[in-house]
Structure 1
Amino acid sequence: MLPSGTPRSARGLLAAASASLAIVALSDLFAVFAGARLYPLIEDDQGSAVVPQQRLDAAYSLYQTAGNVRGIVYVPCAVLFVAWFFWTRRNTGLLAPDRFRKGPGWAIGGWLIPLANFWLPYRIAVDMWGAATPLPADGESYRVSIWPVNLWWGLLVSSELFGWYAASRYESAEAPTEIRAAVMQYMAADALDIAAAVAAVYFAVRLTSMHWLKASAGSPYSR
């Protein structure tokens, strides 16, 4: 829970982004459930798992619905999270302007540039984390532990890359064994996405809390 004095704009964006991430995680869980129902019904090379066509069609329909639901909830989640990301970049920049190599606009633009979006948002997140980290007491070394940033970003990139791979395998699959394998890969990608959503919420809550604590303490910005 965030401190009660957190600015309302931060608290509102954080709550909205966190709720949307939770919805995405639930949609991924639904996709895993649908995949788990479909997987054993697909015939393998030995001809096992033969089931009535109606039951198989129903499983495929549920699986398609799960994919559609995930696609619907993903876009508003991305918009809300990037809005929170931009707000936090702008405000942490007030705490430590010398820690940022790029302007606040890159907190939005960095997500939109192909290939660069695998690196730029991470660098901005690291800078925000450093800017929001409290200054050490006199005589102490200044160390910034960024494992929440690394955990979130590693899971996010892994889930995206593995999801693209699973999607390409599923779309090109023709033999039943290929479809079974692609469904299993999709389930693994969805599980990674659930972990990434949880890590994103933790990262966002920690960073917003750190920003408020440092701002409320009236600390001069970092060296």
Structure 2
Amino acid sequence: MKKSAAQYAPRPVRGPALCAVVMLGIAGVAWALRAVWQVRLAVAGVPASGLPDQGEGRHRPLTALENSYHVVSAVGDVATLFCAAFFIMWLWQVRDNARTLSGHPPRYLGIWVYAGWIVPIVNLWFPRGIVADAFRGSAPDRPLPRSVNVWWALWLIGMLTDLGLNYSGSTDAMIARAYSNVSTLLVADLAVVGAAIAAIVMVRTLTALQLERFATDLRTPSGDPLKESVGAFDQD
């Protein structure tokens, strides 16, 4: 028999929130370092031997600075993947908890917690909608925090630029762009860093809100991880 919304057990959110915050911070630092290396490349200028990709399948050996940029870029890519995984894990938990607190089913089907980020067109608003729906389900009497809109606006800037999160070219092509027009790279990098910072505030705010609601409304029994973690983020 299908459960009603009120019959769903609260999902612990402290652990997923901490993981998401840590990974958002790491990803933000990684993208900030990428920006620093791009500025270093721009200041150094194109070597006398020309660009790394010299056309017709020919590539010259990388300089020490170019090689270190490859490492920084790869670390940033890995950090972004882990950040996405932990953020989605947290988002799934708060979505389920909002259903428990409100007594109403979520506005978006569960598949969109994952697919909403990658399906064209809908990825322009579905992820924000899922977060906003979780806020409203958790505290319908409170206004949506500004961090949600700031996070999503900066995310879109970083995603829509052809040099940001959706960039699919080679690292050598990125190096060439840093030599010729670093300002466009920095716009994308700073947007991603800003989105990570805003997301940290957003995660902490929604997590603290749900922990508070479960402690006061549902009166979780002693020893429940939700009750024990109340106050972990209550300074936001």
TM over 0.5: yes
Is 1:39 aligned to residue 42 of structure 2? yes
Once the two structures are TM-superposed, the CA of residue 151 in structure 1 deviates from its matched residue by: 0.9
Change beyond 3 A, Cα 1:67–1:24: same
Is 1:67 aligned to residue 70 of structure 2? no
Structure 1 residues 162-214: Cα deviation after superposition (integer angstroms, max 9, x where no partner):
2546947988979x7x6534433222211111111010110011011111112
Q: TM-score, normalised by structure 2?
A: 0.72
Map of 1:149 onto structure 2: 148
8 Å Cα contact 2:11/2:96 also seen in 1: no
CA distance in 1 between counterparts of 2:122 and 2:132 reads 16
CA RMSD of aligned residues (A): 3.2
The range that moved more, 73-82 or 96-105, is 96-105
Q: SS at 2:120's partner residue? A: coil
CA distance in 2 between counterparts of 1:77 and 1:173 reads 25
Structure 1 residues 97-131: Cα deviation after superposition (integer angstroms, max 9, x where no partner):
43732234432332232321221111111111111
Once the two structures are TM-superposed, the CA of residue 87 in structure 1 deviates from its matched residue by: 0.8
8 Å Cα contact 2:17/2:90 also seen in 1: yes
8 Å Cα contact 2:95/2:106 also seen in 1: no
Change beyond 3 A, Cα 1:71–1:161: same
Q: As a proportion of its length, which structure holds more helix?
A: 1
In the TM superposition, 1:1-223 aligns within 5 A as 9-43=12-46, 57-98=63-104, 100-133=106-139, 135=141, 144-162=143-161, 164=163, 167=167, 179-218=178-217
CA distance in 1 between counterparts of 2:147 and 2:139 reads 13
8 Å Cα contact 1:35/1:184 also seen in 2: no
Q: SS at 1:114's partner residue? A: coil
8 Å Cα contact 2:95/2:134 also seen in 1: yes
Structure 1 residues 64-105: Cα deviation after superposition (integer angstroms, max 9, x where no partner):
222111111111111110010011101111111437322344
CA distance in 1 between counterparts of 2:30 and 2:134 reads 30
CA distance in 2 between counterparts of 1:107 and 1:190 reads 25
- Aligned residue pairs, count: 198
Q: SS at 1:87's partner residue? A: helix
Q: SS at 2:161's partner residue? A: helix
The range that moved more, 76-85 or 66-75, is 66-75
CA distance in 2 between counterparts of 1:62 and 1:34 reads 8
Q: TM-score, normalised by structure 1?
A: 0.75
The range that moved more, 194-203 or 126-135, is 126-135
8 Å Cα contact 1:163/1:190 also seen in 2: no
Same amino acid, percent of matched pairs: 25
